[in-house]
Amino acid sequence: MIKIAPSILSADYAALGSAVEMLDEWNADYVHLDVMDGAFVPNITFGAPMCKALRKHSNLIFDAHMMVENPAQWAAAFKDAGADIMTIHIEADRHAHRTLNYIRSLGMKAGIALNPATSPSAVEYLLDSCDMVLVMTVNPGFGGQKFIAEAADKVRKIRQMLDARGLYDVDIEVDGGVNIETAKVCRDNGANILVAGNAVFSSDDPKRTIELLRG
Ligand code: DX5
Ligand code: ZN
């Protein structure tokens, strides 16, 4: 039921191929790819070419978290590069409804992400157009930050909004500061996909950590 999506943002960038290979051995479900453009967030990571290169190293689900302005321009490239899910930020796209449908039309699952300061009502009219809602529990840009508990409250509200519409198959992913303690809070509130960067990649026993995060 609960899926774990380790973020390679916290892996050794000089050895991302082998990091991704390890995720399979550690029984992770998804590979979470944090794409940052230096404009939407104050950091730069990588784009579709990295996704394509890593695709050869894993059969897990590739979960692209687009922390970029105007994300629609990259959708076709990420589809080509083997991404399975593409999540855009509501704060970064004036036409999120159109972009979500475009992502789906390309054959990827579409996710909508909310920053900690964004109200759940901002995504209310998008719920029919997405496969996943990503609730940020840190301000995006960096790994290793502290979990913002107020942001996690949104998970419960969004789960209620989905249930009220009969959208039982839409996933809720949480991202930022997820560790063994905060993972429980997220699961209890109704999240079913947990992103974890530092908790997994700084662990002495990542396989065990993933098991504990799953609850
Ligand atoms: C933050 C990223 C997260 C982050 C998670 O901008 O979207 O995926 O890397 O890392 P931790 O689990 O270390 O907070
Ligand atoms: Zn992320």
Ligand 1 atom 4 nearest Cα? 143
pLDDT > 90 fraction of the chain, expressed in percent and rounded: 100
Ligand 1 atom 9 nearest Cα? 143
User: Who contacts 196 (Cβ-Cβ below 8 Å, separation ≥6)?
Assistant: 4, 5, 6, 7, 178, 179, 183, 209, 210, 213
- Helix (H/G/I), strand (E/B), else coil: 195: strand
Catalytic residues, which ones? 34, 175
CA of 42 to the centre of ligand 1 (A): 13
* pLDDT in single tens digits along all 215 residues of the chain: 999 999 999 999 999 999 999 999 999 999 999 999 999 999 999 999 999 999 999 999 999 999 999 999 999 999 999 999 999 999 999 999 999 999 999 999 999 999 999 999 999 999 999 999 999 999 999 999 999 999 989 999 999 999 999 999 999 999 999 999 999 999 999 999 999 999 999 999 999 999 999 99
Probe target for ligand 1 pocket from 195, 201, 213, with the most ligand atoms within 8 Å of CB: 195
The pocket around ligand 1, CB under 6 angstroms, is made up of 7, 9-10, 32, 34, 65, 138, 140-145, 175-178, 195-199
- Helix (H/G/I), strand (E/B), else coil: 136: strand
Burial of 173 (0-12, 13-18, 19+ CB in 10 A): buried
CA of 166 to the centre of ligand 1 (A): 30
